[in-house]
Amino acid sequence: MSKEQEELVEKIQKLLSKKYADTSMVSMRKLFDSYDKNGDGKIDSGELEQLLKDSDVGNAFTRGAWIKGIVKELDTGGDKGIDWDEFSKAVDR
């Protein structure tokens, strides 16, 4: 796992703990659903930006690069969004 991936997972795990007091798969699903604002079953780049901001990943200048890199790495379906399966595989430890 790259340094960036480790940072992403660590910070999302912290957000999970802060919001739900644990990092279980149930809490992870709640987190995913809370950022899937339009309910399409995917976190798109705009929704991902808010997740990264809330997780304290990157800053206003680097967050765009984070988004591109994350979508490129995790979007195995090629639909320019991260679905639940892609998200859970990436964030679960």
The domain in which residue 83 lies consists of 3-91
pTM: 0.91
**In the predicted model, what is the mean pLDDT of the chain?**
92
CATH of the domain at 70: 1.10.238.10
Beta-bridge partners for 82:
43
* pLDDT tens readout for residues 44-61: 999 999 999 999 998 989
Specify the number of domains making up the chain: 1
Compute the average pLDDT of residues 76-82. Answer: 92
CA–CA separation, 39 and 4 (whole Å): 28
Phi then psi dihedrals of residue 82, to 5 deg: -110, 115
Instruction: Check residue 93 and give its pLDDT.
Output: 65
Q: Which residues of 33-72 are buried (b: 16+ CB within 10 A; e: fewer)?
A: eebbeeeeebbbeebbbebbebbebbeeeeeeebbeebbe
Compute the average pLDDT of residues 54-70. Answer: 92
